[in-house]
Amino acid sequence: MSRTILYFLRNGCAWRALPGDFPKWRTVHSYFQRWSEPRENGISLLEEALKKIRWQQHIASRDAMKQPLS
């Protein structure tokens, strides 16, 4: 499900336009709504997940820059 939501966020397509190999759009939309709801700390699960993904990408790009050229 998370892969489908990331696809949606990255491509900005309409829910009904999700590729056929993804789950049904209504199911994905339902998860998206639940995961977007702010929790007690004011941060949604989706926001937390996106922050972790960005951090991992930052670390990966930083580590790639440290690699010596061969």
- Both tokens of residue 67? 């690699």
Tell me the pLDDT tens digit for each residue of 1-44. Answer: 999 999 999 999 999 999 999 999 999 999 999 999 999 999 99
The per-residue pLDDT for 19 is 94
pTM for the whole thing?
0.72
Question: 34 with 60: CB under 8 angstroms?
Answer: no
Instruction: Kindly write down the DSSP assignment for every residue of the chain, as one continuous string.
Output: -HHHHHHHHHH---GGGS-TTSPPHHHHHHHHHHHHS--TTS--HHHHHHHHHHHHHHHHHHHHHHSPP-
